[in-house]
Amino acid sequence: MTRKLAVIVAAAAIALVAAGCVTSDDTYNSMNGDRAAAGVSAVQHADDLTSIAQNWANHLRDANSFYHQDLGAVMAWLGLPYCAMGETLAKVPFDYTGAQVEAIWMNSAAHRAIVLDGRYGYVGIGIASDAAQTTTWVVADFGGGC
Name the pTM for this structure.
0.86
pLDDT, tens digit only, all 146 positions of the chain:
444 444 443 333 333 343 349 999 999 999 999 999 999 999 999 999 999 999 999 999 999 999 999 999 999 999 999 999 999 999 999 999 999 999 999 999 999 999 999 999 999 999 999 999 999 999 999 999 87
Residue 124: count other Cβ atoms within 10 Å of its Cβ. Answer: 23
Which uninterrupted H or E stretch holds 101?
helix 98-106
Contact present, 135 and 92 (Cβ < 8 Å): yes
**pLDDT the model gives residue 146:** 77
**pLDDT the model gives residue 142:** 98
